[in-house]
Structure 1
């Protein structure tokens, strides 16, 4: 629970810094009066109840793929249970779109969280106002520079720091509720109804700001594999949700007595002497929230690489004990550049809030659609109950998404542009790999045919050769090129295929699949989960029972294709083919990705038109 509080709830826990303020002074300002204060708070209370408690804690977190959550895990869970169906492609597109939207969220969350916390200096002393931007940038740059050292050491203090932060939220809330105890009435949904009946248009637009209170809910599901469903759900119900609502109600109580405090109700709740320490506590909490999103970006990228939606990227493991703690330099520095540009471009958390929400609400709608398929097709719930549950989620998510669309002109375009670029990259790589594989298979020879025709007639030399192949049933192009140029075969030839399964992890004893093809040839299939680290030499050491494996007498042969984009071959648009070729050139080499010994690798190149 302590770990879950420190990592999972950092994002949603920092929402009180800006959600209430943006609801009243955002792009669609509200009058700071009793009706609007009670209406907004009632919407926040019931949004957290429906989206976080009902949708994620009680339903979505039951949809775990062997303990793992998130868009890719949910997609893999559905695909594994239902197999190939005519609408499976649509689900894959939705899963990729959800992942693309996540990257937009991963850029905005650290920027708005840190900026809104440091803006407390304006409340402490207006003379500090000019320091907000440089301090925010320094904090963010420092945060990304320490990523390569891993989060294991820092993670030990995450839980206690966020626990202190939540205690501060609750204490500030209670201190202000005492002066206006009637604020507790907001738990009644009739206040939200009255808000809508008073002015439907303004209430609908206000939902875009109210939604800021539930941003971070997706993290609960995505990080389920780290802490488990029970720890995350129990900590939400017993600690996080109560502390958040006490703070929101405290802000509402403050505004009832002092409407001018709407400029920054979070910090103005605190007595003057406590505001500077509160800035430090809130800033620490936002750093932790940012860390959770950055770690999530590394994890999602790793899954995308394993599932074939991104090229191989250099990945470093920062912990010997925790396999999930990884560092991907390309993602780290790319996020840093974009986040710093966001902070310098928008300059204020209020302006950034307009860009926030569209990506998250879009992801939530996609999760609802995928949950609908799971509930109706896999779990086979009672139709009436399933329709009621999914209908409620769809209505709430759809309303929030529609309201957030009004923010596009005010900055909401940014996460949509980011999502469009990422979606293009992911789909281009996946489609390019499929075209490349089809082209290689078209020109390939079945392994059985090759063995019968060539195995006896070619000179054999001592040792073992391993040829990596996209399929274990055909002859890899590298083998054909080696035979063409060197006119020899090793006495033992292994056709090796790495297969990534639709599960997070594959047990070591189920890793290796061996087939003797005769004449010194064998087919080996290595099975990995989409969150596993691929290490071919380590996996091959388990071949002792099938004749043994000596690394010092083994050569690894890799095929390296140079792609030529052309209009002559049916495939993708020319610009997408050129993008795919560029990603092929810049991806990490197969030798490094598969952890092959550098002095035992031979690369053979060829040209291909796609």
Structure 2
């Protein structure tokens, strides 16, 4: 059952590639004269691209690089950072690589719904040529509905994803077999000679075609990103025994149909289908593309949540859509931003052919970054010999860089689009991260050491009142500004005081036994530190419950007040970022979600005290 579920979530993107990949490989813009030899050469390239990149690189190697069971480029970044000293140039480089790889995923998220739904609906032009004018309106309707239902979560429709995708892959395989019978000689393309001969014969044109061949690999990163949801074995089994055979058989079937019927070049996928089955396959393809889109949108929510907890994105309102599955979340701001951009992309590009160039750049950039970070993990985490790492990574990079370089030729045809999306996201993420570091440094420099301060305070205590005060702090070494303001204005100290710092570790989950550490400063004043993983929701209520269980301190919420400092960031000419970036950071900081909402603190128990901080 887990393997069936993985079919529905993990392989939707790569599973819908047959709709447009081979069609784009034979694009007239490439200047490749159509011939049976060209068909064999391109099919051979597709076969070996899937074998080398997906099966060998991702399934054999990348899936082994798990961070406590979790995958994805940010998890790989966190894993590689363990090999570097915090704050060192090496650590900064690894961090920037990982963050840029994550940012390029947003380009993928924008393009996937647009290209996949468009390519599926374009099948109507084959089934009923008079319906050409409804392709874009129908695509927009499907896209809008897809984003509107996100707030309800995937728990209800998710159970249908696996069976629908299994039916999709079965249909791909059966259609492939049906067409291979027409020209069984296409099977000789398994021999890499045909790919090598094609590239040698056509040279520059073959290099350009590489930029389209990479479309069969879209979604390969999802195998790794979704590892935490299903585990390595179900993903490997689903790929080896269902997805890979179905895809390859279908691509060979499309090739066989082209050899037998060269006119099918207009739309190799839909023109390989018997006429009575075209309309049912349009419906099934539309369902498959919606599932593929749903998977990447959910991935965007998960990636954003991880980035927030790792300190690269401002706090946002996050809603949990399932009581059983912690990973099922919904982020309204991201959802509506994606909807606006996807609709704009559909209206701007109009055809799936026009989006193919943009898709390739997003995919290949992330592939290159994954390979580079994998090399760090192989050498420093797995302790492989340097020679073995260099040989393995060099072989993988040759393939990745070739695909990346081929797609750079399409920058003017749409390849610029994901780079703009990724570059803008990277700039915003790094501005937020750098601003947070500056803010933390300023607060620390201006802070008062907490232990001598509390010792002096208790020697001559102010009036103590009943109840518990919890002061949220980002630095347990200095006195929280909220406490200083409370003492200055109210001149009281609660009978029990906790300084609570919530930290996010570079692991997906933290065991409850390791989550809390507490130190008593005397006079019922305590330093409490709570750690969460980057896949967990940092809830104060959970901290309170664990504190009672582990340390015996009971919390009555009606008798507990939570004090937070609401910082106002003031850009200045002090050393740090440029003034305009500081203003951007200040705007992002002021518009982020409130800490009380993010940490799920009851609103009627929160006391916010304002302060200004120059950066």
TM-score for the superposition, normalised by structure 1: 0.98
* Structure 1, unpaired ranges of 5+: none
Which secondary structure state, in structure 1, belongs to the residue aligned with residue 164 of structure 2? helix
Task: Tell me, yes or no, if structure 1 residue 551 matches structure 2 residue 561.
Answer: no
Task: Tell me, yes or no, if structure 1 residue 564 matches structure 2 residue 567.
Answer: no
Matches of 1:81 and 1:150, distance apart in 2? 37
Deviation per CA, 1:294-325, whole angstroms, max 9, x where unpaired? 00000000000000000110000000000000
Matches of 2:139 and 2:547, distance apart in 1? 53
CA contact 1:44–1:210 (8 Å) conserved in 2: yes
Shift of 1:26: 5.6
Structure 1 residue aligned with 2:519: 515
Structure 2 residue aligned with 1:484: 488
Structure 2 residue aligned with 1:20: 22
Deviation per CA, 1:148-180, whole angstroms, max 9, x where unpaired? 001011010000101111111111111110011
CA contact 2:81–2:95 (8 Å) conserved in 1: no
Shift of 1:258: 1.5
Worse-superposed segment, 448-457 or 231-240: 448-457
CA contact 2:179–2:254 (8 Å) conserved in 1: yes
Structure 1 residue aligned with 2:451: 448
Which secondary structure state, in structure 1, belongs to the residue aligned with residue 520 of structure 2? strand
Matches of 1:174 and 1:191, distance apart in 2? 21
Structure 2 residue aligned with 1:379: 382
Shift of 1:573: 1.3
CA contact 1:556–1:601 (8 Å) conserved in 2: yes
Number of corresponding residues: 609
Structure 1 residue aligned with 2:53: 51
Residue number among 570, 588, 596 corresponding to 1:591 in the alignment: 596
* Structure 2, unpaired ranges of 5+: none
1:26 to 1:91, Cα distance in 2 relative to 1, 3 A: farther
Worse-superposed segment, 13-22 or 578-587: 578-587
Residue number among 39, 50, 67 corresponding to 1:37 in the alignment: 39
Shift of 1:83: 4.7
Deviation per CA, 1:475-514, whole angstroms, max 9, x where unpaired? 0111111111111111211111001011001122322211
CA contact 1:23–1:40 (8 Å) conserved in 2: yes
Task: Tell me, yes or no, if structure 1 residue 285 matches structure 2 residue 291.
Answer: no
Residue number among 264, 268, 271 corresponding to 1:265 in the alignment: 268
Task: Tell me, yes or no, if structure 1 residue 171 matches structure 2 residue 174.
Answer: yes
Shift of 1:81: 5.3
Residue number among 154, 158, 162 corresponding to 1:155 in the alignment: 158
Matches of 1:463 and 1:79, distance apart in 2? 43
Matches of 2:482 and 2:218, distance apart in 1? 49
Structure 2 residue aligned with 1:495: 499
Shift of 1:520: 2.2
Shift of 1:80: 3.3
CA contact 1:195–1:203 (8 Å) conserved in 2: yes
Residue number among 106, 110, 126 corresponding to 2:129 in the alignment: 126
Residue number among 75, 78, 91 corresponding to 1:76 in the alignment: 78
Shift of 1:63: 0.4
Matches of 1:127 and 1:11, distance apart in 2? 29
Shift of 1:570: 1.4
Which secondary structure state, in structure 1, belongs to the residue aligned with residue 470 of structure 2? strand
Shift of 1:137: 0.3
Structure 1 residue aligned with 2:112: 109
Counterpart mapping for 1:320-399 below 5 A: 320-399=323-402
